[in-house]
Chain A
């Protein structure tokens, strides 16, 4: 398996505020990695570091290159578009396609036009005239036509309504993703990408709280739902998180076998969203 991103001890401060504190992680080829964190957790800083958009301390290799030194070469193999709001308002659709085709050696113009032809977007429209939904489609048309090895998406669906968010992710997985490609995306809407990602990295206050494949989560974490009468007994097994739901207690355990817990109540693998909340609140406690 090829390592696409290798980060060792990334640190970055904005003044007195520490955005990244000794962050290390690897991303393998052919994975969809969700970099999750609350607002201000350091997600965007980590992305910017990967893309050579900001300085940092530590070791970082992206597709075998140092993003600080080889940014321009790196951008041939990386496709990065932050949220759709960064596409300049004055640009016409036709111009957006022409420009990317003119500067990007891996851009397939016919593919982009083919994608746009299936939409209601007019070639002569300016970006500011497009609805949010159309803008998402334009954004996708540009991304999908770039044959990049690594796609980096920073809050790609910010401000979009549910229909377009769903369309965005569905198209991404169905029309773009394959075993050769790697997608790294940040979002604070964790539930949104629950069924999309193969790996998760949780960031909180600039630190890595969790770095795991989704398959491994079910072995490592278990969620137990018990009535109030069984709660005390379950607590002895040291859940790292608990909350009350309709009079029942939901607990999440790490590194406990299902056998130990089965007799106490209902077991299931926690959702990524629940796990995220548990980890972040556990870290705050």
Chain B
């Protein structure tokens, strides 16, 4: 009898206070939820990667003449690598060619993530589903963090993983065509050390982009929580308008410079004192003839700690946290459903 009473007592206590769900499990569920809703987050990289491999079946590489990189001022002559034919030069050439072929992934990824973040807290208000999400014991902070995690860390790493697979398939397809005599040009030179250095460099760039663009992501999430309509216009027009007003009224260009610095900053690390850019990896001979590309100096010149200590990164992270906090506050107290 006593035992039964004790049991019943415990059962009542259990139902009245079930253990709270740990934050990490809630976050995991929220992240999963994002990928249920936004299938483009994995469909875009997978289909662009697939198209790149397909392109490898038909592409012709113009391995002669000038090649202008989207960053850095120089015209680079790829002839050297082909003519010299040295293994090291060929490896360098192959590496750069692989990095360049990943540009479509970077561009589509950036666009997909821009719109993902911009609509992340807007769509739920537009279709009133915010009332459903808010009926569950999930804090606004956890919701905002889950969207930022997906938009700035998880999806970029997913794009990176797709890029790795794409590179292998792309090089393999090209080399097969060469060996079957279906294409002419230089084969992708395989060198395990260089390959891993290249992967290290790319991963490093992704991590750098995550940190560098964090305030942009925070800004987009804030606009998404705040704008009553047209979040896309709100994300760009005020900046343009303020930039013009500043220029005409004050004659200065601080806003334009700041926006330009942040948007282009990752690719112009070299402009920052102590910074590093991808062009720094090239060891260039006379007349801008590329001799080799040494990605190992990425880690010599710019360790992760070194990158973290750049004022632009640190300030950006503080701004990102501020925007995320503001977005959570707006989502918590805004009432427009």
B18 touches A106 (CB 8 A): yes
Q: Would you call B68 an interface residue if the criterion is a C-beta within 8 Å of the partner chain's C-beta atoms?
A: no
B20 touches A104 (CB 8 A): no
A95 / chain B contacts, CB cutoff of 8 Å: 33, 36
Assess A86 versus B132: contact at CB under 8 Å? Given A91-B36, A103-B21.
Answer: yes
B138 touches A103 (CB 8 A): yes
B135 touches A79 (CB 8 A): yes
Q: Which of B45-53, B123-131, B154-162, B286-294 contacts A (4 or more CB under 8 A)?
A: B123-131
Interface digits, B33-50 against A, CB 8 Å rule (1 contact, 0 not)? 100110000000000000
**Which of B15, B18, B30 has the most chain A CB atoms closer than 10 A to its own CB?**
B18
A147 touches B135 (CB 8 A): no
Q: Would you call B136 an interface residue if the criterion is a C-beta within 8 Å of the partner chain's C-beta atoms?
A: yes
B33 touches A99 (CB 8 A): yes
Q: Which of A1-9, A22-30, A67-75, A191-199 contacts B (4 or more CB under 8 A)?
A: A67-75
* CB-CB contacts below 8 Å: A112-170 with B: 147
A102 touches B18 (CB 8 A): no
Looking across the interface, which residue of chain B has its beta carbon closest to that of A96? Answer: B132
* CB-CB contacts below 8 Å: A60-109 with B: 71-73, 75-76, 79-82, 85-92, 95, 98-100, 102-106
- The 8 Å CB contact of B19, one of A81, A92, A105, is A105
How far does the alpha carbon of A75 sit from the alpha carbon of B37 in the complex, in Å? 23
How far does the alpha carbon of A280 sit from the alpha carbon of B139 in the complex, in Å? 39
B335 / chain A contacts, CB cutoff of 8 Å: 48, 53-55
Separation in Å of the B239 CB from the closest CB of chain A? Answer: 29
Q: How many residues of B contact A (CB 8 A)?
A: 31
**Which of B32, B131, B132 has the most chain A CB atoms closer than 10 A to its own CB?**
B132
Separation in Å of the B138 CB from the closest CB of chain A? Answer: 5
Query: How many A-B Cβ pairs are below 8 Å?
Result: 83
**Which of A75, A102, A103, A147 has the most chain B CB atoms closer than 10 A to its own CB?**
A103
How far does the alpha carbon of A100 sit from the alpha carbon of B337 in the complex, in Å? 22
A76 touches B29 (CB 8 A): no
A75 / chain B contacts, CB cutoff of 8 Å: 134-138
- The 8 Å CB contact of B132, one of A72, A81, A106, is A81
Q: Would you call B199 an interface residue if the criterion is a C-beta within 8 Å of the partner chain's C-beta atoms?
A: no
A55 touches B137 (CB 8 A): no
Separation in Å of the A183 CB from the closest CB of chain B? Answer: 15
Looking across the interface, which residue of chain B has its beta carbon closest to that of A14? Answer: B335
A102 touches B26 (CB 8 A): yes
A104 / chain B contacts, CB cutoff of 8 Å: 21, 136-137
Q: Would you call B332 an interface residue if the criterion is a C-beta within 8 Å of the partner chain's C-beta atoms?
A: yes
A71 touches B129 (CB 8 A): no
A71 touches B18 (CB 8 A): no
How far does the alpha carbon of A104 sit from the alpha carbon of B337 in the complex, in Å? 23
B333 touches A103 (CB 8 A): no
How far does the alpha carbon of A220 sit from the alpha carbon of B152 in the complex, in Å? 63
B139 / chain A contacts, CB cutoff of 8 Å: 71-72
Name B residues whose Cβ lies closer than 8 Å to a Cβ of A: 15, 18-21, 25-26, 28-30, 32-33, 36-37, 124, 127-132, 134-139, 332-333, 335, 337
Q: 11 A–B contact pairs at CB < 8 A?
A: A71-B139, A71-B332, A72-B138, A76-B20, A86-B132, A88-B129, A89-B127, A89-B129, A91-B37, A95-B33, A99-B136
Q: 15 additional contacts, CB 8 Å, given A48-B335, A72-B137, A102-B32?
A: A54-B333, A54-B335, A71-B332, A73-B137, A76-B137, A85-B128, A86-B128, A86-B130, A88-B129, A90-B37, A95-B33, A102-B26, A103-B21, A103-B29, A103-B30
